[in-house]
Structure 1
């Protein structure tokens, strides 16, 4: 199916959903097992792959991830890798097929994505706490939360 902004949820049994929308991806990622991050196979800098990872999707993206390079690197270096870099539609199809054909691999990839996204979010929150604490001369400020 294809979805533009403001549409109804995809019908039950939808295998592939192509979205051209703003502000809805976090809720849609919850419906996915594998998420391709757009604007990354062409030189546009990529979109936020952490949204998909935080929803527990196996993440796949192209080489153009300039806007989210650190996140793509962290997800790609996790063990097992939480994101896969592909260079064309053949590699993309191969990744999706491997993920959907091997439930153990797929579950490991999804868990790695979720774990890595939570770790990165906690690191950012701690960095913010450190930045706030410095000018206020607060010591021992620690970020907490459910991630």
Structure 2
């Protein structure tokens, strides 16, 4: 990939132009990354307070009993959004689907182990763990090898 940067006083704002032969997954990832540069916040609820969370501090998001929660350093906070909405927002922050009910932050993974049933057990820096369904194992391994893209 070749990157050209043109800085000139006559430009107002930043414009990005991509030249490519065809649309690829890499291009889609670049566009998502550029679009997600606006710092998005997630609203959590704890007792009577609404808490603003940044995507970088969240280890994983999970659905349980028709509610959605975020795990931050082994602390669980209820969220106001649906899991599929969060997956869309968080994809630009190195989050990916672990299972039907879990979306995990690849940047918080310390290590992983292959379970006897083909699932992957992911351990986070905080000591928490989650399981990755067999359906998503190869995708996560590929993203980890490519640097969490």
Higher share of residues assigned strand: 2
Whether TM-score is above 0.5 comes out as: no
Bigger Rg over Cα:
2
TM-score when normalising by structure 1: 0.26
TM-score, normalised to structure 2, is 0.26
Return the structure number with greater relative CO, CA threshold 8 A, min gap 6. Answer: 1
Greater share of residues in helix: 1
